[in-house]
Amino acid sequence: MIGASLAFFIGRYLGRDFAGSLIGDRLKRYDDAIERNGFTTVLYLRLIYFPFTPMNFGMGLSEVRFWDYFSATALGIIVGTFIFTFFVGTVKDVWASGRWSELVSWKVFFSLVLFAFSFFIPSLIKKVKAARRI
């Protein structure tokens, strides 16, 4: 989290003006969308396993609020790590045992469902936030 935050601030304070001079108005267009949906955008990118380093710097270039970035990064890393570890651990156990029929088991199915579900977490959070505003 420290490294991700440092990269974010480097992008924010050292790269934003330079990026703005290179891509101009296109940055502003993305900024508006990312600022409105910062938490959801960051969480989604974390859960689809977008490369972390470019994302850390890139989010610093955007208008996303730091606390949206930080909290979505923390949640995305925790959830993503759990899902990935559970799936890889299950496959490793099957590989080590040599019982390939266990690839069709509740553990493998559950880990794949968790992985698929992770893509819907940002939209679910967005819907919950919208419902609270009503």
Residue 134 is predicted with a pLDDT of 61
Cβ neighbours for 96, distance < 8 A, ≥ 6 positions apart? none
Query: When comparing pLDDT for 103 and 6, which is higher?
Result: 6
**pTM across the whole model:** 0.70
Whether the pLDDT of residue 132 is over 90: the answer is no
CA 28 to centroid of chain Cα atoms:
22
Beta-carbon count within 10 A of 33 CB: 12
Give the number of domains in the chain.
1
Query: Average pLDDT over the chain, rounded to whole?
Result: 80
31-48 pLDDT per residue, tens: 777 777 788 888 888 877
- Residue 24, classed as helix, strand or coil, is coil
Residue 79 is predicted with a pLDDT of 84
| Containing structural domain, residue 28 | 2-133
Mean per-residue pLDDT for 3-20? 81
Cβ neighbours for 127, distance < 8 A, ≥ 6 positions apart? none
Q: Label each residue of 50-108 as H, E or C.
A: CCHHHHHHHHHHCCCCHHHHHHHHHHHHHHHHHHHHHHHHHHHHHHHHCCHHHHCCHHH
